[in-house]
Amino acid sequence: MSETYVSKEKLPGIVEQLMGTHRVFGPILKGQYHQFALLEESADLDLAFRNTRLSPKALFHPHSERMFEFTLEKGNPDAGILKEVPKDYRSRIVLGIRPCDAYAFKLDDRNFITDQFKDPWWVQRRESTTLVGLACNDPCSTCFCTSAGSGPFDTSSLDVLLVDLGEGYLLQAVTHKGEQLMGDLAGGESVPEHCTEQAAALKQSAEAQLGIQFNLDPVKQKSMVELFDAPFWEDVQFSCINCGTCTFLCPTCWCFDIQDEVYQSRGERIRIWDSCMFPLFTLHGAGHNPRDQKLKRVRQRFMHKLKYYPDKYADGIACVGCGRCVQHCPVNIDIRQVARLMAESCVCPV
Ligand code: SF4
Ligand code: SF4
């Protein structure tokens, strides 16, 4: 793994250089919140953030996306034929992504890339993107990545890791793609003495701040039916207003709906995010709705992340501990507390 050092005053120059060869996305302050967006100029990049309100999943799975277009014009030989809407797959860099958000893409890959099918748009966006992460020196009180298989300095899904050392950044290449990117950079300096040790100390301190906030081992031993029927779901669901905020902010919620929108003789097939918290999500064409009550929808979200997914893949949960749903749920429902309830609940035989 190669390392280089960039002092903070040289960063804008490096970003300009990258913008000459790639489309560069990064956190930009928009109103009150930081949000990942295309940089128009290097000064747009603002790395002084803790976590963005919206996760960067929209860079790979847009909130609303035109998939195909078609015409219904009478006499047109192409009438009714779906034509793919062109998309931009030029190479790009996502700069300043948090390690947990990058790790989320690895979990999302399981939905978009399977043995049976591959989502071509997801695949091409993944392939054309280099992920340059920013380590979390000072995690939020709502973060729990260390309890969810990731960590504040986790490099498992990054190409390059940046560590903020105060006066400058330590850049560590993780993958071949990352090595190539760093090799092309002019302006990097040799790593000053003690920087690697300083980064290791920051990692240790951030991990210690986070600790381990719940243990889901007992959930693995419990049967799905036992948890499904547990009485605590009544309490968990009580204050939920099914607003869908948790799912829209979540980097590992990938559900979408596909709709045809037609105006006069032209139409578009679009896909848009959907949420298991919405009552219509499971409404069947025949009128039956298997999740017709709030309790069933709330239970589904947590059971999917903390029981169904771990049972299916046996290597972690469908959550990366970014804490967004904890921070922004309007009624303070906390997935960490639900995880503890699931682990501690005892449905004892009478
Ligand atoms: S953000 Fe909170 S209130 Fe809204 S759907 Fe999610 S759990 Fe319910
Ligand atoms: S469930 Fe909550 S904490 Fe976990 S990845 Fe989604 S938004 Fe982040």
Nearest to 247, CA basis, from 319, 151, 339: 319
Residue 348 burial (10 A CB sphere; 0-12, 13-18, 19+): exposed
pLDDT of residue 345: 83
Q: Is the per-residue pLDDT at 165 higher than 50?
A: yes
Helix ranges (H only) for 224-293 are 224-228, 232-238, 245-249
Residues 52, 40: Cα–Cα separation, whole Å? 19
pLDDT of residue 184: 80
Q: What are the pLDDT digits (tens) for 279-326?
A: 999 999 999 999 999 999 999 999 999 999 999 998 899 999 999 999
Q: What are the pLDDT digits (tens) for 183-194?
A: 888 767 888 889
Measured between alpha carbons, how far is residue 101 from residues 90, 250, 253 in Å? 22, 9, 12
Measured between alpha carbons, how far is residue 259 from residues 59, 65, 271, 322, 334 in Å? 21, 10, 6, 30, 32
pLDDT of residue 192: 83
Residue 45 phi/psi, 5° resolution?
Answer: -65, 130
Ligand 1 centroid – CA 60 distance (Å)? 24
Residues 277, 100: Cα–Cα separation, whole Å? 23
Ligand 1 centroid – CA 293 distance (Å)? 14
Q: Is the per-residue pLDDT at 350 higher than 50?
A: no
Nearest ligand (C-alpha, residue 309): 2
pLDDT of residue 349: 47
Q: Is the per-residue pLDDT at 347 higher than 90?
A: no
What residue owns the CA closest to ligand 1's atom 3?
240
Query: How big is the CA angle at 311 (ends 308 and 314), to the nearest 5 degrees?
Result: 135
Q: Hey, how many other C-beta atoms are within 10 angstroms of the C-beta on 247?
A: 20
Q: Is the per-residue pLDDT at 147 higher than 50?
A: yes
Residues 321, 332: Cα–Cα separation, whole Å? 16
What residue owns the CA closest to ligand 2's atom 5?
319
**What residues flank ligand 2, with Cβ below 6 Å?**
249-252, 305, 319-325, 335
Tell if the pTM clears 0.75, that is, is over it: yes
What residue owns the CA closest to ligand 2's atom 7?
250
Q: For ligand 1, is residue 216 a contact (CB within 6 Å)?
A: no
What residue owns the CA closest to ligand 2's atom 4?
319
Q: What are the pLDDT digits (tens) for 133-146?
A: 999 999 999 999 99
User: Binning pLDDT at 50, 70 and 90, where does residue 74 land?
Assistant: very high
